[in-house]
């Protein structure tokens, strides 16, 4: 079954063709990051406009690179939530029009479910159940993935996402947007141990996280140093910051896996590209006898193939949308807006 998949929730326009949820026939992506870098972060209005400009061409490119024509498409999948509302609307409305014109089913896909499914493309043997640590620019979640379409949220950030925290910390260190990858490179240059940064605890909710205090601490450190005319050890700060993010994420992931009775852990989302986090997750999983799946770097960030992968399993479970489907800026991963017609 060939699915034409659309992703436009943030600053990547992406269209892919995926066969049977596991085989990528094409994966066309156009990043707008350079454009937003001028402003130090994503400008929603610009993101929407750039999606409009790019999406038709990317759709043609995805079909051409897959070596198929429109008539060979069996279904259309699209991200319907969460994301920048104007941005999500562009991909979703384009997907609706394609599904309508081709008279094929329209499959709604939750963006974070897509990030988890990116792993299915890289690891043919991977199947639920497992515990997923999802960390992207806008979301940070711990999810018990019981089946391909049955997700239970077990922990989440109460404020900022890990990626947002990386991006803001990077900005005060003078690094370009998006800041995660440059922070990663900078952190490699130091062993750290210079700056004391806070670790948050959410009272009564051991699996929930908070990154806003850490973000503020880095901002304050940088401002205080600037006011006193002191030089920052930027590499050490990047390292100590990443260590603090890891301390927030890795122990909670292991605890969540234990509580859910899972021995398989899957990482997902843009922040899963971080080399220190990857090493820390590997070490923790080795220590506790868990099998760890880390997506290859090209599948950590937003892409259309992951929407095609999850779309396939949503299709099998009976998820269908009609032309009334709306886009949502926020939507829980375990609260599908479209019912499953089994």
Q: Does 270 bind ligand KG4 (CB under 6 A)?
A: yes
Distance CA 149, CA 332 (A): 13
CB–CB of 22/323 below 8 Å? no
The angle at the Cα of 247, spanning 164 to 301, to the nearest 5 degrees, equals: 40
Smallest gap, in angstroms, from Cβ of residue 162 to ligand KG4?
Answer: 7
Smallest gap, in angstroms, from Cβ of residue 258 to ligand KG4?
Answer: 25
Q: Which is nearer to ligand KG4, 20 or 34 (CB)?
A: 34
Nearest to 11 by CA among 46, 56, 38, 40: 46
List beta partners, residue 62: none
Q: Does 167 bind ligand KG4 (CB under 6 A)?
A: yes
Sole window of 39-47, 67-75, 209-217, 271-279 interacting with ligand KG4 (rule: CB under 6 A): 271-279
Smallest gap, in angstroms, from Cβ of residue 312 to ligand KG4?
Answer: 20
SS3 55: helix
The angle at the Cα of 65, spanning 63 to 66, to the nearest 5 degrees, equals: 65
Residue of the chain from 86, 108, 128, 163 that contacts ligand KG4 (CB under 6 A): 163
The DSSP symbol for 321 reads B
Smallest gap, in angstroms, from Cβ of residue 68 to ligand KG4?
Answer: 27
| Residues contacting 184, CB < 8 A, separation 6+ | 242, 273, 274, 275, 276
Q: Which is nearer to ligand KG4, 63 or 271 (CB)?
A: 271
SS3 14: strand
Q: Does 274 bind ligand KG4 (CB under 6 A)?
A: yes
Residue of the chain from 128, 178, 308, 336 that contacts ligand KG4 (CB under 6 A): 178
Smallest gap, in angstroms, from Cβ of residue 224 to ligand KG4?
Answer: 24
Distance CA 180, CA 120 (A): 24
Sole window of 31-39, 50-58, 208-216, 264-272 interacting with ligand KG4 (rule: CB under 6 A): 264-272
Question: What does the binding site for ligand KG4 look like in residue numbers (CB under 6 A)?
Answer: 10, 136-138, 163, 166-167, 178-181, 184, 269-271, 273-274, 301-302
């Amino acid at each position: 079954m060939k699915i034409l998949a659309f992703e436009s929730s943030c600053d990547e326009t992406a269209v892919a063709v995926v066969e049977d949820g596991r085989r990528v026939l094409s994966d066309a992506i156009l990043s707008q990051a350079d454009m937003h870098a001028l402003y130090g972060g994503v400008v929603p209005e610009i993101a929407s406009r750039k999606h409009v400009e790019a999406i038709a061409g990317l759709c043609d490119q995805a079909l051409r690179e897959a070596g198929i024509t429109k008539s060979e498409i069996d279904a259309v999948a699209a991200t319907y939530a969460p994301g920048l509302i104007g941005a999500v609307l562009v991909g979703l409305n384009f997907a609706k029009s394609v599904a309508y014109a081709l008279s094929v089913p329209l499959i709604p896909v939750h963006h974070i479910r897509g990030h988890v499914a990116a792993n299915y493309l890289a690891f043919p043997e991977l199947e639920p159940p497992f515990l997923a640590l999802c960390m992207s620019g806008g979301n940070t979640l711990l999810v018990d993935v019981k089946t391909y379409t049955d997700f239970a949220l077990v922990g989440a950030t109460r404020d900022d996402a890990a990626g947002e925290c990386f991006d803001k910390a990077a900005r005060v260190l003078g690094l370009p947007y998006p800041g995660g990858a440059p922070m990663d490179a900078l952190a490699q240059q130091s062993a750290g141990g210079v700056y004391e940064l806070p670790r948050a605890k959410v009272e009564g909710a051991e699996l929930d996280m908070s990154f806003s205090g850490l973000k503020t601490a880095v901002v304050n450190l940088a401002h205080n140093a600037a006011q006193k005319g002191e030089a920052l050890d930027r590499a050490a700060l990047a390292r100590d910051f990443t260590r603090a993010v890891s301390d927030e994420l890795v122990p909670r992931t292991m605890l969540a896996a234990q509580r859910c009775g899972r021995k398989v852990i899957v990482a997902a989302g843009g922040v899963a590209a971080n080399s220190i986090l990857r090493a820390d997750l590997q070490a923790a999983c080795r220590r506790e006898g868990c099998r760890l799946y880390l997506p290859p770097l090209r599948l950590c960030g937003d892409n259309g193939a992951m929407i095609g992968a999850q779309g396939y399993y949503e299709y099998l479970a009976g998820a269908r949308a009609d032309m009334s489907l709306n886009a949502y800026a926020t939507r829980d991963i375990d609260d599908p807006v479209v019912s499953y017609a089994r």
